[in-house]
Amino acid sequence: MKKRKIMGIFAHPDDDTFGPGGTFARYASLGHDVHILTATSGQAGLSAGLSIETTLGEHRKRELKNAFSIMGVNYSRLLDFYDGSLNEHTIPLLKHFILEEVLKFEPDVIIIYERNGISLHLDHIAVTKAVITLYDAGKISPPKIYYFGLPREVMSFFGREGGLGDEKRAVIDIKDFLDTKIKAMKAHLSQEKDWKMIIERFEIAKKQNKDFSNHEYFQLARTSLSNLKFPESDLLAGIK
Q: What are the structural domain ranges in the chain?
A: 5-223
- pLDDT given at position 13: 93
- pLDDT given at position 151: 93
- pLDDT given at position 109: 98
For the question of whether the overall pTM of this predicted structure is more than 0.75, the answer is yes
Write the pLDDT tens digit of every residue in 167-196. 999 999 999 999 999 999 999 999 999 999
Q: In what order do the strands lie in the sheet with 169-173?
A: 75-81, 33-40, 5-10, 109-113, 144-149, 215-223, 169-173
Pairing of strands 75-81, 109-113: unpaired
- pLDDT given at position 71: 98
Residues in the chain where the model's pLDDT stays below 50: none
Pick from 234, 112, 111: which is nearest to 171 by CA?
234
CB 6 within 8 A of CB 164: no
Phi first, then psi: give them for residue 99, nearest 5 degrees: -60, -45
- pLDDT given at position 64: 95
Residue type at 35?
H
What are the respective helix, strand and coil percentages of the chain, to the nearest 5? 40, 20, 40
Write the pLDDT tens digit of every residue in 204-240. 888 888 878 999 999 999 999 999 999 999 999 999 9
- pLDDT given at position 226: 94
DSSP string spanning 106-144?
--SEEEEE-TTTTT--HHHHHHHHHHHHHHHTTS---SE
The CATH number given to 5-223 is: 3.40.50.10320
- pLDDT given at position 171: 97
